[in-house]
Amino acid sequence: MNDAFGAPQSVLILGGGSDIARALTRQLAARHTRTVVLAGRPGSASLEAAATEARSLGVDVRTTDFDAGDPDSHEQAIDKIWADAGDLDLVVFAFGVLGDQAACEEDPGAAADVATVDYTAAVTTGLAVAKRMRQQGHGAIVALSSVAGDRVRRANFVYGSAKAGMDGFFQGLTDALADTGVKVIVVRPGFVDTKMTAGMPPQPLATTPDAVAAAIVKALTGPSRTVWVPGALRPVFAVMRHLPRVVWRRLPT
């Protein structure tokens, strides 16, 4: 259960080797989270590095295999995590791939890989986690979506459409879990400076893994169920989603 200050004591991060996952683990450790399960691809060097860092902060860390690209394995993976860890206060969906838009347009298989990781895996894993949390009667789910899914752009429409589906799924899950003791928070960061975006040109209102992590920690004890990072993106997209398509198409990529 959460402590007296609302801090989760047991946490599962799916995609535990990501930069945002590592930043979140650091901030949770500072709030005295005791146990963190980091799930990621088998043999992932980034997962092991994240676990080593977390242990240095005094957190009891476990790592477990989780392959977002293999939906058939997800329910079994979640069952194993719960069997090993017991009830969990917080589950964070931090996995995802950006993909290469040009490659996806040339190769439908590459597009399917992006859709599988960014959307299908969120659905299969999200339903398995929701089932477990509904049974335990408490907890929080945090889903890392993206502003790219709020209105899909030509420049990355495969990734953006997958994130749009993922975002919609977790919005629906919010309603499905109402009155169960489980809350769902959808986080919509803008461009985040991470390994995944390395080499890409800088974007307006860009943010950092630490800023995203801080927004998640704040949301855990607040009323918001949809969080924009940075917050200035909320009014920006309130306007942008209503731009005529002929104007939207001509915006800089």
Please tell me the CATH code under which domain 10-248 is placed: 3.40.50.720
The pLDDT of residue 5: 53
Catalytic pick among 95, 119, 159, 191: 159
Q: How many CB atoms lie within 10 A of CB 226?
A: 16
CA distance 43 to 109: 24
Question: 159 an active-site residue?
Answer: yes
Task: Name the pairing type of β-strands 226-229 and 90-93.
Answer: unpaired
For residue 163, what pLDDT is reported?
Answer: 97
| Angle subtended at Cα 26 by Cα 218 and Cα 114, rounded to the nearest 5 degrees | 80
Residue 62 phi, psi dihedral angles, 5° rounding? -125, 145
Say what the pTM is: 0.93
Tokens of 9: 């004591």
Mind listing the pLDDT tens digit of every residue in the chain (253 residues)?
666 456 799 999 999 999 999 999 999 999 989 999 999 998 899 999 999 999 999 999 999 999 999 999 999 999 999 999 999 999 999 999 999 999 999 999 999 999 999 999 999 999 999 999 999 999 999 999 999 999 999 999 999 999 999 999 999 999 999 999 999 999 999 989 877 776 677 677 889 999 999 999 999 999 999 999 999 999 999 998 889 988 888 876 6
Return d(Cα 226, Cα 191) in angstroms, integer: 17
Read off the DSSP letter of residue 195. G
What's the confidence (pLDDT) of residue 198? Answer: 67
